[in-house]
Amino acid sequence: MHRGFALLDVISPCVTFNDHEGSTKSYLYTREAERTVVYADFIPEREEITTKLEEEVTSVTLHDGGQVHLRKVDDNYDPTDRNKAATYVRQHQETGEIVTGLLYINDSIPDLHESSETVERPLVDLDFKTLNPGSKMLANIQKGWG
């Protein structure tokens, strides 16, 4: 319901501009420098784990017997103070708890659609001419970025 910000970090080598010897963004470099972070060959299907946060801290037992401890934000918690939000999360991480709820919000910053003046309609619903204004228009846009 909040038109907020999301960050996706995608590692994708570019063969057009960066595929040369010495590049840290080439296919060769990413293959040589690749580090496995998670071994996830096969994940068996399991019954969904659900819970209701009835108490201040709710412990949830996972399929492997491990537990996560979920903490609802306090009733007097202020999600508008960025530094306090970061401190609050860190303090509870140190005790092994995962804080849940609205952790931080700043309604005074416009979202990406407002600042970029994008259209409300999904791009898939726009016609080709609107999506591709032509090489002349694109050249003018690129000049503006120079």
Enumerate the H helices of 3-81 as residue ranges. Answer: 27-33
Please tell me the predicted confidence (pLDDT) of residue 15: 61
Structural tokens at position 104: 């931080």
Please tell me the predicted confidence (pLDDT) of residue 146: 42
* DSSP single-letter state for residue 49: P
Distance, CA of 63 to CA of 15 (rounded, Å) = 42
pLDDT tens per residue, range 71-80: 999 889 999 9
Q: Which pLDDT band holds residue 3 (cuts at 50, 70, 90)?
A: low
| Residue 29, CB-side half-sphere exposure with 13 Å CA sphere | 14
Mean pLDDT across the chain, nearest whole number?
82
Q: Which pLDDT band holds residue 12 (cuts at 50, 70, 90)?
A: low
pLDDT at 84 over 60: yes
pLDDT at 13 over 60: no
Its pTM stands at 0.53
Structural tokens at position 68: 């996560």
**71 touches 56 (CB < 8 A):** yes
